[in-house]
Chain A
Amino acid sequence: MPQTILIVEDEFLIAMDLQLRLEAHGWRVVGPAATIRDALELVEQEPPDVALLDVHLGDQLITPVAECLKARGIPFAVASAFDWPERVGGDVLAGVPNAGKPTSERRLLSALKQLTGE
């Protein structure tokens, strides 16, 4: 059984890029979701093993999704251009692995490693 990962990212091209790369590393992708509503719905219907989140979705912040994942004990990372995502997205993002944006292969894999503890 491959591990599942939820991708939340509002730019289709970036979401697609992450999806193809994660699939190449053997992950099964849930989503991608472009909005808070879609993301929360996916967490409900198809709880993933881990999640990779963009911090800004249009003019919305990812915070509600991060809080929902935290409450369910689902580990998550962000893929954010911000060096300090918690300064925009709140405490729930403090200390969370950041795969960066644009996302390099090295940072993506290192963030996933932190999530799975492998």
Chain B
Amino acid sequence: MEELYRILRTGHVQTQGIVDTIADPMVVLDSSLCVQNASRSFFETFQVFRDETIGQRLTDLGNGQWNIPELQRLLGDVIPKSTAVINYEVTHDFPSIGRRTMLLTARTLFHPDGASHSLLLVFSDATDRMARDRAKDMLFGELRHRMKNLLGVVQSLARQTPIEGRTAEEYRDSLLGRLGALIDSEDLAFAEQGELGVEQLLERTFAPYASGGANTVIEPGPPVQLGPRTVMSLSLVLHELTTNAAKYGALSDPEGQVRVRWQVEDGKLHLHWAESGGPAVSAPTATGYGTQLIQSTVSYNLGGTVELDYPQGGFQAEIVVPLGTASQSE
């Protein structure tokens, strides 16, 4: 008799050990839905005490916080017809822990005597995971949309980069230069917040030309945050300015210099581009595609203005962009 008691006791201690080891909250209910046992994580998660839990009907627990219509339906209708229910979703406002979405897994245990059964009920809190999934879905949708937009831009650049009077190689290099500006802006758009500014964009644009010399000068200016679309537009504009400088302007001469400064005035970003020390300058007779790209991108995409000046000492540009659009996260 004593030996039998010892075995039963060991069995009970083991069972309680198993129940407490399970990370998700778990309760064992008898056939009248009273709590026979509960895991440690059940008490911790729902902030209830063992004494006020064991022996109570589940629906009476914690001032009726378990009196959930969906749960009653699960216990009353679904469980009796099947031996197990897996990940049954229940969303409920719990007084202690707030609104949570729980996945319930239930299994009926038939006792060897055949006359009674108990019910194992495991709660898995899916609230945070589902919120993360939703955020991921949204991000994925945005990325997909942006990627398609980007491909549309690439398609347009490929079609519109001029071919007249140029070799295939010249066309290719000119197209690749523009795609490079898009790639840079994509890199920046995924950078940490605070790194998505005018200065970072200028540094990127000048990087291929900053071969140790002082050919490009970025004057320190106030920090300006840019949205991803604005970064793309400005990146293309700065690329065109830089390419022109390298072909015809100050960057085509080892003695030449490009100096850029910016400030914020009346909610507008003013970007000033000044070249000096290059070959003598004269205004172009016809507007090239690059110049058209600069003007239209600033006015159409950014709602700003651009002024291009061709004094003999060096080309100058003044770009003004409302920060309403430039600073939006878009």
Contacts and interface: CB of A to CB of B under 8 A. Distances in A.
B193 to A, nearest CB: 18
Interface in A1-29: 10-17, 20-21
With most chain B CB atoms within 10 A of its CB, the pick from A13, A20, A101 is A13
A14 B301 CA distance: 11
Contacts of B233: 12
Interface of B: 144-145, 148-149, 151-157, 159-160, 229, 233, 293, 296-297, 300-301, 303, 325, 328, 330
A101 B300 contact: no
Given A10-B301, A15-B300, A58-B229, A103 B152 contact: yes
Contacts of A73: none
Contacts of B300: 12, 15, 32, 34
A56 B155 CA distance: 19
A101 B148 CA distance: 6
Given A58-B328, A58-B330, A59-B330, A16 B152 contact: no
Interface string A67-83: 00000000000000110
B330 A14 contact: no
A102 interface: yes
Interface of A: 10-17, 20-21, 32, 34, 56, 58-59, 81-82, 101-103
Contacts of B152: 11, 13-14, 17, 101-103
A101 B149 contact: yes
B160 A17 contact: yes
A17 B293 CA distance: 12
A14 B293 CA distance: 12
A33 to B, nearest CB: 10
> What's the dominant secondary structure at chain B's contact region?
helix
Contacts of B145: 56, 81-82
With most chain A CB atoms within 10 A of its CB, the pick from B233, B296, B301 is B301
Given A11-B152, A58-B328, A102-B154, 12 more contacts: A11-B301, A12-B297, A13-B153, A13-B293, A14-B156, A16-B296, A17-B155, A17-B156, A20-B160, A34-B303, A102-B148, A102-B152
With most chain A CB atoms within 10 A of its CB, the pick from B151, B156, B159, B293 is B156
Contact of B153 (A11, A21, A32, A34): A11
A13 B148 contact: no
Leading 7 A-B pairs by shortest Cβ distance = A17-B156, A81-B148, A12-B300, A13-B156, A102-B152, A14-B152, A102-B151
A93 B233 CA distance: 29
A16 B161 CA distance: 12
Contact of A11 (B149, B160, B325): B149
A15 B157 CA distance: 12
Contacts of A21: 159
Nearest to B159: A17
A102 B158 CA distance: 13
